[in-house]
Structure formats: structure tokens, C-alpha cells
């Protein structure tokens, strides 16, 4: 069985319906991956994720390597068993976290040496080491170590990052196959870098296409550039990617950005936005966000999102959830995060239905207009 099966292509946009096949089950695409950095999607249980209808969860190699550490996850029999999640898991390589969380790091062609953000202990991650960790984790989809350029970035630095990312991707693939990860049902992505430079993005994509990895990701986006610049990068790269493989726009994004990116041919999304915004009391609806601490909701006994059929919206009012936030009650974080993740997962279901029914252009236009999106 191939990794990706195409079901339908929209005739007027580049939106695609497909299925991604993994050792822990199929995932209908396009899809959203709730982010469980440390083996938990913040405030939600795995039972909540099943109830929400999430078909996959994303965790982070760097964080799990630091805590609880590989000895414990290996003893548990892998990440699925450790966290009690029997559906697919994708793991980030941790490269981004080494750059963003560590006080000190030393980057060489061999890999990256860094200090733990928890206890300051020194560690070294190489492209091969990151694969070894993900083999132990047993992730269904694994990401290679890459060098993510900051924004803005000088041309020569971005070129260096592209070269290193390609070289590391080659070593990654070799190690991935040599150690039997493919035979165990794990699937390898590569990550297109190149900052905001068209020729570098194209160069990165070309070099990685030669490697013929199972899927392709566009990385180094949403790192401080404007949304317009981000979609410009997507436009340069996405059409170069093979039709028969899943395409992952890393760390994106707001609901309107997801709708737009699907129309440009993206299949996979992840972002901490629904859980992080939820913890701050900002809740998503088709008409934009509801900031629940706002005094306007003091006596508002309607649901967070009157259009929503999640258990939060069926059982609780804005006034009650506002009270929970005002009194620092944990249930408030949970209800807001639950609704937001439900909103994202359901948005993907609505997107898939629109593509299935040949009405994606109309869905996209209506959605972006109702959301008052700049992308309309």
C-alpha cells in the first residue's frame, strides 16, 4: 500500500482529498494534528481527542528526549503505549526547539550540541541520533533534523542552512533505511528550507526531491515574516512537490490560513494555536475569535460558538466559562482548549466535505468572508 492515496482533486483550486496510510490507521486528508509537545495535548486527555475526532497527534522529539527521556519511553514500549494513544503519531525532529529553547548551542556539520532548557546538561543531536530517538518513539511519521533559518536572514546564512538541511536529509534517509525504520512502518519526511529567498526555496525543494522521501514538509515558515510573505513562499514551493506524496505546511496556522493553504494544495497542518489560545481564553468561531474574559460576556448565557456542536458549546455558557477564567479555575482552560481543538478538527472535516462535493472554491470564499480574513 502506498503512503498516500488520492481521492479527489478540486477542479478550480489545488485542494486535494486523500488518505494517508500508517501503521496505526488511516488518516483522511487534509487534516490537522493537535500538538502534544510533551506527549499530552495541553489540558486534553486522549479520550477527549478520540471524542473530538482527531485522527493523529503530534509530539516533539526534543522535549520527550529531555523528559521523560528515552529509557522510560523505551521501557513503556514506545510513545503510543507510554501515552495511551493508539492512533497515528507524527514527531518533530526537535531541531527547531534546540534553536528556540536552548541558551547555548553549537552547530557543526555533524549535528548540534546544546544545553537542556530544564537542567543545563549538555546533549548532542545528530541527524542519525534524531532518527534513533524516533525509532524508539515508534512515531508513524518522522521528521529529519534540519536547520531552520530565523527571520530575517542574510542570503548566505539561508544558503548555508539549505546546504546543511540537504546534507543532513541525505544522512537521515540512509540511516532511516539502514536501521529498518521503513520496514517497521515508519515514514520519513524531508523539510524544505530557504528562508524568504525564491531561488533557495527552489534549490532546497529540488535537492530534497532527489531523495524521494515519503512526504514533504515546508519548514522555516511562521517565524516572524508577514502572512503575505509566508504564502509567497508556499506558492514557490508547493507546485514543485510530487502529487503522490503528502504535503505538510509546518506550524500553520490560523483557521483562514489553513483554508487558504488547502486551496493551494497542502494536506497536513499543526499548530499550538487552538490549545494556547484556549488557555488564554480566546475561542474560535467562523466569525473570528471570542475573548472570553471580555466584560461583554458577563451575562451572556449563549454558547462560546452558537454554531458549534461540541460538548462545551452544548452544555456551558460564555458567562460560566468567563467566571472560570476570572477565578483561575482549571476547568476554564480545558473547556476553551477542547472547543478550539474541536473547531480545528471539525474545520478540516468541513474542508474535506467541500472538496468531496466539488464546492471548495465556494467554501473557501464564504469562509474567508465570514472570518473577515485578509486572505479573502
Residue 107 makes CB contacts below 8 A (sequence gap 6+) with: 147
Contact criterion met (CB below 8 Å) for 175 and 127:
yes
CB of 73 to a second copy, least distance (A): 9
Q: Which stretch binds a second copy (CB under 8 A): 19-27, 186-194, 327-335, 362-370?
A: 327-335
Residue 301 makes CB contacts below 8 A (sequence gap 6+) with: 317, 318, 319
Binders in 273-302 for a second copy, by CB under 8 A = 298-299, 301
Q: Does 272 bind a second copy (CB under 8 A)?
A: no
In terms of Cα–Cα distance, which of 220, 360, 369 is closest to 286? 369
Contact criterion met (CB below 8 Å) for 319 and 307:
no
The CA distance from 16 to 366, in Å, is: 19
Q: Does 121 bind a second copy (CB under 8 A)?
A: no
Q: Does 323 bind a second copy (CB under 8 A)?
A: yes
**Cβ closer to a second copy: 46 or 149?**
46
Among 333, 341, 345, 368, binds a second copy (CB under 8 A): 333
**Cβ closer to a second copy: 42 or 135?**
42
Question: Which string of DSSP letters, residue by residue, matches 200-256?
Answer: HHHHHHHHHHTTT-SEEEE-S-SSSS-HHHHHHHHHHHHTTS-TTS-EEETT---HH
Q: Does 329 bind a second copy (CB under 8 A)?
A: yes
The catalytically annotated residue of 48, 92, 214, 305 is 92
**Cβ closer to a second copy: 307 or 329?**
329
φ, ψ for residue 192 (rounded to 5)?
A: -75, 125
Binders in 38-97 for a second copy, by CB under 8 A = 38-40, 42-47, 67-68, 71-72, 75-76, 81-84
Instruction: Kindly state the DSSP code that residue 281 receives in the 8-state scheme.
Output: T
Binders in 6-45 for a second copy, by CB under 8 A = 38-40, 42-45
The catalytically annotated residue of 146, 256, 270, 305 is 270
The CA distance from 342 to 37, in Å, is: 18
Q: Does 117 bind a second copy (CB under 8 A)?
A: no
**Cβ closer to a second copy: 3 or 311?**
311
Residue 270 among the catalytic residues: yes
φ, ψ for residue 217 (rounded to 5)?
A: -115, 150
For residue 17, list its beta bridge partners: 8
Among 331, 370, 375, 376, binds a second copy (CB under 8 A): 331
In this structure, the number of other CB atoms found within 10 A of the CB of residue 355 comes to 24
Q: Which stretch binds a second copy (CB under 8 A): 92-100, 136-144, 160-168, 321-329?
A: 321-329
Number of residues in contact with a second copy under rule CB under 8 A: 39
User: Which residues are identified as catalytic?
Assistant: 92, 270
Q: Which residues bind a second copy (CB under 8 A)?
A: 38-40, 42-47, 67-68, 71-72, 75-76, 81-84, 298-299, 301, 311, 315-317, 319-320, 322-324, 326-327, 329-331, 333-335
Amino acid at each position: 500500500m502506498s503512503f498516500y492515496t488520492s481521492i479527489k482533486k478540486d477542479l478550480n483550486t489545488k485542494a486535494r482529498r486523500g488518505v494517508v496510510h500508517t501503521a496505526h490507521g488511516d488518516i483522511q486528508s487534509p487534516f490537522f494534528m493537535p500538538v502534544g509537545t510533551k506527549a499530552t495535548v495541553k489540558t486534553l486527555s486522549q479520550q477527549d481527542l478520540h471524542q473530538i475526532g482527531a485522527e493523529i497527534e503530534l509530539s516533539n522529539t526534543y522535549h520527550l528526549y529531555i523528559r521523560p527521556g528515552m529509557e522510560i519511553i523505551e521501557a513503556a514500549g514506545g510513545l503510543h503505549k507510554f501515552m495511551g494513544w493508539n492512533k497515528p503519531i507524527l514527531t518533530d525532529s526537535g531541531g527547531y526547539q534546540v534553536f528556540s529553547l536552548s541558551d547555548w548551542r553549537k552547530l557543526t556539520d555533524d549535528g548540534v550540541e546544546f544545553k537542556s532548557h530544564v537542567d543545563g546538561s549538555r546533549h548532542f543531536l545528530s541527524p542519525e541520533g534524531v532518527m534513533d530517538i524516533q525509532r524508539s518513539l515508534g512515531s508513524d511519521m518522522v521528521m529529519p533534523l534540519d536547520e531552520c533559518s530565523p527571520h530575517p536572514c542574510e542570503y548566505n546564512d539561508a544558503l548555508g542552512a539549505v546546504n546543511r538541511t540537504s546534507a543532513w536529509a541525505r544522512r537521515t534517509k540512509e540511516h532511516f533505511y539502514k536501521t529498518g525504520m521503513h520496514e517497521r512502518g515508519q515514514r520519513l519526511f524531508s523539510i524544505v528550507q530557504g528562508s524568504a529567498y525564491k531561488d533557495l526555496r527552489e534549490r532546497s525543494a529540488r535537492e530534497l526531491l532527489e531523495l524521494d522521501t515519503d512526504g514533504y514538509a515546508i519548514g522555516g515558515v511562521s517565524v516572524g515574516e508577514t502572512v503575505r510573505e509566508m504564502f509567497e513562499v508556499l506558492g514557490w514551493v508547493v507546485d514543485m512537490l510530487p502529487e503522490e506524496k503528502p504535503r505538510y505546511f509546518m506550524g500553520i496556522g490560523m483557521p483562514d490560513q489553513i483554508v487558504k493553504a488547502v486551496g493551494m494544495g497542502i494536506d497536513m497542518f499543526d499548530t499550538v494555536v487552538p490549545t494556547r489560545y484556549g488557555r488564554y481564553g480566546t475561542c474560535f468561531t467562523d466569525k473570528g475569535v471570542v475573548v472570553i474574559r471580555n466584560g461583554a460576556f458577563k451575562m451572556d448565557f449563549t454558547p462560546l460558538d452558537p454554531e458549534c456542536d461540541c460538548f462545551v458549546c452544548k452544555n456551558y455558557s460564555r458567562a460560566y466559562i468567563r467566571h472560570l477564567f476570572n477565578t483561575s479555575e482549571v476547568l476554564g482552560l480545558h473547556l476553551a482548549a477542547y472547543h478550539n481543538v474541536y473547531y480545528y478538527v471539525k474545520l478540516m472535516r468541513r474542508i474535506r466535505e467541500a472538496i468531496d462535493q466539488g464546492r471548495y472554491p465556494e467554501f473557501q470564499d464564504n469562509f474567508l468572508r465570514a472570518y473577515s480574513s485578509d486572505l479573502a
